[in-house]
Amino acid sequence: MLEHAVSELFEQQAAEDPPPTRASVIAAARRGRSRRRRRRAAIAASPVLATGAVLAIALGGIIPAGAYHATPTPTAPAAAASQAPRLFNPLRPYASPGWLPAGQSVTQFVAGFSPLEDQYSGPTDVVLTVYARGVCRLSSRSFTCGWPGDQAAPQNSVPRIDVGRQISDLSGHAAYWKLPAGPGIGALTWQYAAGGWAVVTVPGLRDALRMAHSVRFGKAASPLAAFPFQLTGVPADWRVNSVTTKVDHGVRYAFSFSVTAGPVNTILGLTFPPRQVVTVEMGPEYGSSCKSYFANASYRRQLIDGSETFVLRRPSAWDSGAKSGLCTVADRVLASVITYGQSAVAATDLLAHHMRFLGPDPANWTTRPIAGQRN
């Protein structure tokens, strides 16, 4: 799926009057920092991306046919636990789609993972969002999603009626169907396990129920994302807080991820995560030219480990809260690194001393972006 198609998907989502769960990891994040950066860089309008040439430039010749293929989704779903997990692991998806409407494949979906939600967004407004235990709460008056009492994770609440009418239970738990206001998609909201809620948005109830019944839960729900480099020798409290992925040439890779100093349990994209230290964006999602990526930003050129690197002169003008930032192209894949106030390491030092690139063969890529940490 090309960049302009991805952007178009979220433009449509933002323009509608959606149920509360549409404000989610991927949509909110892309409406925030990433979308603002790409607008500045004019990447979304790039004819190179529009024709798909970036895929050939950035991944052509890097990903051999048949290498590191994303595991196909089996038709038999795994059952959810009796109680939803308190937190998810952004590096190990807890849920993934099973059955999908005709003409769609999970390889077409952008997938985002954070401690509080897993989400898969397809090219035609088909979305699956699964929340961790306690994130969403249904009362007699409203349906509220957010982390209780945490100002860094604002709660999104709508009147109970906006969840829709109650329908037959799903796996013994309550389920609600919200009809589309007009031509478009509806939303099926159900409790997949004690304390855990999920939402499917799809045109018809029949397809929504079929999707819901086939959602896969558990550690083997989805293949782990591949990272073409690894952070080494960084502070011990650094943790991957969120990962956004897509599939290209059979590889599900992380095109954006963030790191925090210690665990931070927020719904990514609704606000700037506290204690964030690093944001990394990479791959064909962002093009193959640092000059185009930074566009009119003020930067200087520097040679780091033999690679031309574009170093931001005014990082805070590029991203609010940023302390340092750079862009480089290694192994023909663009990588952008932005650090924030909590980071003890500048972006140039990260690239020079703490980033180990793993070469062009995806078979050598890692599912552990921070060395020494377990998934």
- Residue 310 sits in a domain of what CATH number? 3.40.1000
33 shares a domain with 127: yes
pLDDT in tens, 312-350: 999 999 988 899 999 999 878 899 999 998 898 999 999
In a domain, 357, yes or no: yes
- Residue 371 confidence class, pLDDT cut points 50, 70, 90: very high
Output the pTM of the full model.
0.80
33 shares a domain with 151: yes
Mean pLDDT of 340-362: 91
149 shares a domain with 33: yes
282 shares a domain with 196: no
Q: Which residue segment(s) compose the domain that 233 sits in?
A: 229-364
- Name the region of 146 (left: φ>0; alpha: ψ -120 to 50; beta: rest): left
- Residue 67 confidence class, pLDDT cut points 50, 70, 90: very low
115 shares a domain with 257: no
The number of domains in the chain is 2
pLDDT at 221 (0 to 100): 81
In a domain, 63, yes or no: no
199 shares a domain with 83: yes
Q: Per-residue pLDDT for 367 more than 60?
A: yes
217, 250, 278 - which closes a domain: 217
253 shares a domain with 204: no
Mean pLDDT of 98-124: 92
pLDDT in tens, 87-106: 999 999 999 999 999 989 99
194 shares a domain with 105: yes
217, 238, 255 - which closes a domain: 217
317 shares a domain with 275: yes
In a domain, 49, yes or no: no
Mean pLDDT of 266-275: 64
